[in-house]
Amino acid sequence: MGYITEVGYLVSAFLFILGIKYMGHPATAIRGNWISAIGMLIAVLFTFFHPSVHFENLWFILLAIVLGTVIGLYLAGVVKFTEMPQMVSFFNGMGGLTIALISIVEFFTRGIVSEVEGGFDWFFVASSAFSGVVGSISFVGSMLAMAKLWGIFESSKRSIFIRVFNALVLLSILIIYVLLIINPSPYLLVFLFIMGGVLGFSGVFPIGGADMPVVIALLNAFTGLAASIAGFAINNNAMIVSGTLVGASGTILTILMAKAMNRTVLGVILGGFGGTKEAASNVKGNVQEISVQDAAVLLAYSKKVIIVPGYGMAVSNAQNEVHELEQLLESKGVEVKYAIHPVAGRMPGHMNVLLAEAKVDYSKLYEMNEINPEFKNTDVVLVVGANDIVNPAAKNNPNSPLYGMPILEVDQAQNIIFMKRSLRPGFAGVENELFYNPKTRMLFGDAKETLKKLISEIQNL
């Protein structure tokens, strides 16, 4: 019956790859998600045909599947879109925990008692231990990333002590790993996984908020790597294929995100942006406000407007109002474009998904490198809740934690309307120099409610 399982795994692998291809564009992303889900369902169902499945434990297997389905459906139904990054971190962490548990169970039931040509199956011991420790790093790191996104934990200041501690933990993991291969022991295995969890915590804890999208992508790659290696350990082709896909895509995304921030992955791990949420700054100048009525006139009589969405738009769930404003301005002959920074929001693609949900034409979304040259010829830039990604300190202040990070150069526009609740700094904890730019006018208030008033005023012009 094993060949039936392998055929099912082959079909599921094809659907995974096809699903990823369709998820490459917002117009087909929903279809790609369904295709991938069907692929996973096939993989689960065909696993029952595998000879190693013991049906005396069928009730336990079915109970786990039912519980997982119910919990997954519930979480997907109640999660707010602003909490999606936390959900991504949670699911990624659960994947890492699952791989670690699989490694432990397989090691205890197979690695210690089985013999290959009079000795242990060293490949199995090495691969299961490796996948397990990487899974535990991903689990603890992802849970901490989720907690930091919730605001439960704040980053600590970078110090040589933390770096030395992480180096010692990593060295300990390598030593324990070698000892485990030389002399397989369940105690060493458990200790190895505990040390992996310690490294996951101590490695992620000091990393600043602005680097969190890169960290999430990196931990996602770790989970994929762990799943793939575990697949080799237990000879499961479905895990090998799916883990490789996740690991490869997560690695590519990590590199792209780091490149977009003019960083290296090692630089993110060793010296993240903003160790603490200090709003420390020597920025001087006057903050100028603008009324809804004046903002409406300025926008309605412009020739070109660029909208910069940020996390504040997500918090207020204002993407539909942004789209309505865009359509209203276009009806008055105004050219409207969207400027999307690679790390806007709390996870990769955050703004793209929000705007796609509001049915914004994808052709109006421009990446940073495409849109930056256009700001100097733009009448008005409307910043909706963004912060760090438009902060000129990244270009002008070598002492700023943001220095060197490519930004949307909105300061080159003729006029800037900044929609924000207050003057509080962004997630990196750095005060925004753009607030004090003579061309900037602050439009304070909740983005959704303010946009509704703005739309109403433009309609009455």
Whether the pLDDT of residue 268 is over 70: the answer is no
CB atoms within 10 A of CB 239: 23
pLDDT of residue 352: 85
Contact 138, 200 (CB under 8 A): yes
Helix axes 122-150, 186-204, angle to 10 degrees: 30
- Return all residues near 404 (Cβ < 8 A) that are at least 6 apart: 262, 263, 394
pLDDT (0 to 100) of residue 336: 96
pLDDT at 428 > cutoff 60: yes
* Token digits of residue 364: 């109006």
The answer on pLDDT for 349 being more than 80 is no
Q: What is the pLDDT of residue 117?
A: 47
Q: Which residue has the higher pLDDT, 78 or 303?
A: 303
pLDDT value at 186 more than 50: yes
Percent of the chain with pLDDT over 90: 42
Tokens standing for residue 214: 């890169």
407 SS3 class: coil
How many CB atoms sit inside 10 A of residue 155's CB?
Answer: 22
Q: Cα 212 from chain centroid?
A: 7
Look at residue 57 in the predicted model and tell me its pLDDT.
76
277 has pLDDT over 50: no
Q: Is the pLDDT of residue 216 over 70?
A: yes
Give the distance, in angstroms, between the CA of residue 255 and the centroid of all CA atoms in the same chain: 13
More confident residue, 330 or 148: 330
Q: Is the pLDDT of residue 279 over 70?
A: no
Give the rounded percent of residues in the chain with a pLDDT score beyond 70: 89
- pLDDT tops 90 at residue 30: no
pLDDT of residue 439: 93
DSSP letters spanning 427-438: TT----GGGG-T
For the chain, domain boundaries: 2-270, 292-459
CB 233 within 8 A of CB 127: yes
Residues catalogued as catalytic: 388
- Three-class secondary structure of residue 279 per DSSP: coil
pLDDT of residue 275: 43
d(CA 301, CA 310): 24
Query: Residue 357 — pLDDT band, cuts 50, 70, 90?
Result: confident
Residue 33's nearest CA partner among 12, 15, 19, 18 is 19
Q: How confident is the model at residue 237 (pLDDT cuts 50, 70, 90)?
A: confident
Q: What is the mean pLDDT of residues 151-180?
A: 82
User: What does the pLDDT average to over 362-378?
Assistant: 93
What is the pLDDT at residue 157? 56
Average pLDDT over residues 247-268: 78
pLDDT at 283 over 90: no
Burial of residue 421 (number of CB atoms within 10 Å: 0-12, 13-18, 19+): middle
pLDDT of residue 115: 47
- Is 417 within 8 Å of 380 (Cβ atoms)? yes
Q: Which residues contact 220 (CB under 8 A, 6 or more apart)?
A: 88, 92, 246, 250, 253
Q: Is the separation of the CB atoms in 108 and 235 below 8 Å?
A: no
Residue whose C-alpha is closest to residue 80's, from 344, 310, 314: 314
**200 versus 149: which is more confidently predicted?**
200
C-alpha distances in angstroms, 277 versus 157, 427, 435?
A: 10, 8, 18
pLDDT the model gives residue 250: 87
pTM over cut 0.85: no
Q: How confident is the model at residue 116 (pLDDT cuts 50, 70, 90)?
A: very low
How many C-beta atoms lie closer than 10 Å to residue 395's C-beta? Answer: 17
Q: Which is more confident, 311 or 331?
A: 331
Predicted confidence (pLDDT) at residue 42 exceeds the cutoff of 80: yes
Q: Under DSSP, is residue 423 helix (H, G, I), strand (E, B) or coil?
A: coil
Question: DSSP for 114-156?
Answer: --BTTB--HHHHHHHHHHHHHHHHHHHHHHHHHHHHHTSS-PP
Are 155 and 137 in contact by the 8 Å Cβ rule? The answer is no
User: Distance between CA atoms of 170 and 156, rounded to whole angstroms?
Assistant: 20
CA dist list (Å): 422 to 283, 316, 368, 389: 16, 14, 25, 17
Reported as a pLDDT band with limits 50, 70 and 90, residue 335 is: very high
The CA–CA distances, whole Å, from 186 to 199, 227, 387 equal 20, 21, 49
Give the per-residue pLDDT at 419: 94
Q: Cα separations (Å) of 95 from 98, 228, 233?
A: 5, 12, 17
How does residue 195 score in pLDDT terms, banded at 50, 70 and 90?
very high
- Residue 215: what pLDDT? 83
DSSP 3-state of 382: strand
Classify domain 292-459 by CATH number: 3.40.50.1220
Q: Mean pLDDT, the chain, as a whole number?
A: 85
Q: Is 111's pLDDT higher than 60?
A: no
Distances (CA, A) of 345 to 88, 325, 326: 13, 21, 20
**pLDDT value of residue 278:** 43
- In this structure, are residues 217 and 263 in contact, taking their beta carbons and an 8 Å threshold? no
What are the tokens at 380? 């008005």
38 vs 248: CA distance, rounded Å: 21
How far, CA to CA in Å, does 150 sit from each of 89, 158, 211?
11, 21, 15
Query: What average pLDDT score do residues 251-255 get?
Result: 86
Q: Read off the DSSP letter of residue 256.
A: H
